Amino acid sequence: MPYVNIQVTRENVSAPQKAELIAGVTELLQRVLGKDPALTHVVIDEIDPDNWGVGGLPALQYRQRGAR
Amino acid sequence: MPYVNIQVTRENVSAPQKAELIAGVTELLQRVLGKDPALTHVVIDEIDPDNWGVGGLPALQYRQRGAR
Amino acid sequence: MPYVNIQVTRENVSAPQKAELIAGVTELLQRVLGKDPALTHVVIDEIDPDNWGVGGLPALQYRQRGAR
Amino acid sequence: MPYVNIQVTRENVSAPQKAELIAGVTELLQRVLGKDPALTHVVIDEIDPDNWGVGGLPALQYRQRGAR
Amino acid sequence: MPYVNIQVTRENVSAPQKAELIAGVTELLQRVLGKDPALTHVVIDEIDPDNWGVGGLPALQYRQRGAR
Amino acid sequence: MPYVNIQVTRENVSAPQKAELIAGVTELLQRVLGKDPALTHVVIDEIDPDNWGVGGLPALQYRQRGAR
């Protein structure tokens, strides 16, 4: 019964990329733990960069200091 | 002090339906566990169907294969 | 495809009470939004009272001031 | 490695206010637990008031009864 | 800056299996979205089977009816 | 109505430290956004280090490579 929540910044993630994440995570849980894909739910949350902080700074400012 | 997070696909959930979910969950927690409604918070997240996967597929594709 | 996360303080919630919460939330989502129970997952998190704060205080101290 | 999720109602929270929340939470975790800011992620979720319930009511109705 | 939360039932998931999930999800996000592994956090929550419901039933009862 | 979830590795976080986190976050939300402490809930999740990954590795292995 896995449930997986993937949070990424909202930056033009395409529908095919989302489908690839869903397929990849589901396959991983089936391979490593034998989980039934029909019971595996994946939810992708796209977060506005203003709303994500790391290093004490909003994401875009943090990246300008050298991280990606 | 319950906190309840309800995640559903974003498909025209109306304000009255949301109010009914909020009332229903709050009543359930009061009845089963004696929780004070004033301390019970309910947050509904509506998820774009592209962002929800089950069975290794995005929700709409999964449904086309026979589930709802 | 609903996913519901219920967070309550860890205070002797029994297995039958958990089953009642699971049944009640699932029935609510079926009744209000027509959701298929086979696609409705409910996860109950029991939180140590030291780890839950409200009003700026840990739960037990907050309750001693008059709330439940 | 802290991860902090802040959920508030979506009511004109400005970018500087978000930056202040990110900075404040990160500083708090560094001060209290010695956590490295570079490993501290903060995600702010803004929730539509229709989607937030307390006291068994949607947030705006609850406030009209006297709370903020 | 991805954050991934994986929820599975608590059923003897070993440390090497957890490491494989962490590595697999991190690699997937790097491959599909180009995310920096150093900014990718993965948190695995193991949920007591009594606390997980699907189909309106606790997980173990649900499985006895034919699902895994 | 804020709800804040703080996730840290489970490494001897004391009750006074938890109380300090709860007080600090609640004060921050009151100061920055004018939120009522009585409606501010904080939940601290302590995560086993085996269950937290960063950089594609479990937390303890990642730290041995130079991060904290």
Q: What is the CATH number of the domain that holds B17?
A: 3.30.429.10
How far off is chain A from E43, nearest CA to CA, in Å? Answer: 10
pLDDT tens for B50-64 read: 999 999 999 999 999
Q: Pick D62 or B1 by higher pLDDT.
A: D62
Number of domains making up chain C: 1
Residues β-bridged to residue F45: F7
Whole-number pLDDT of residue C9: 97
Mean pLDDT of chain A: 95
Whole-number pLDDT of residue C1: 82
Kindly list the residues from chain F whose CB atom is less than 8 angstroms away from the CB atom of residue C54.
37-38, 40-42
Interchain pair C54, F44: CB under 8 A: no
pLDDT band at C16 (very low <50, low <70, confident <90, very high): very high
Interface test with D, best of F32, F39, F50 (most D CBs within 10 A): F32
Whole-number pLDDT of residue D60: 93
Kindly list the residues from chain E whose CB atom is less than 8 angstroms away from the CB atom of residue F50.
15, 18
Considering only alpha carbons, which residue of chain C is nearest residue B35? C68
**Residue B36: alpha-carbon gap to chain centroid:** 21
Give residue B40's domain range. Answer: 3-64
Strands (E), chain D: 3-9, 41-47, 52-54, 57-58
How far off is chain F from E50, nearest CA to CA, in Å? Answer: 19
User: Do at least 3 CB pairs under 8 Å connect B with E?
Assistant: no
Kindly list the residues from chain A whose CB atom is less than 8 angstroms away from the CB atom of residue B54.
37-38, 40-42
Mean pLDDT of chain C: 95
How far off is chain C from B60, nearest CA to CA, in Å? Answer: 11
Res. C68: pLDDT tops 70: no
Whole-number pLDDT of residue E8: 98
Mean pLDDT of chain D: 95
Whole-number pLDDT of residue B1: 83
* Phi and psi angles of residue D29, each rounded to the nearest 5 degrees, phi first: -70, -30
pLDDT tens for E17-62 read: 999 999 999 999 999 999 999 999 999 999 999 999 999 999 999 9
DSSP calls for chain F: --EEEEEEE-S---HHHHHHHHHHHHHHHHHHH---GGG-EEEEEEE-GGGEEETTEEHHHHHHTT--
What percentage of chain B carries pLDDT values higher than 90? 90
Whole-number pLDDT of residue D66: 64
Instruction: Select from A3, A4, A52 the Cβ nearest to the Cβ of E1.
Output: A52
3-state secondary structure chain B: CCEEEEEEECCCCCHHHHHHHHHHHHHHHHHHHCCCHHHCEEEEEEECHHHEEECCEEHHHHHHCCCC
Instruction: Select from F19, F41, F44 the Cβ nearest to the Cβ of C54.
Output: F41
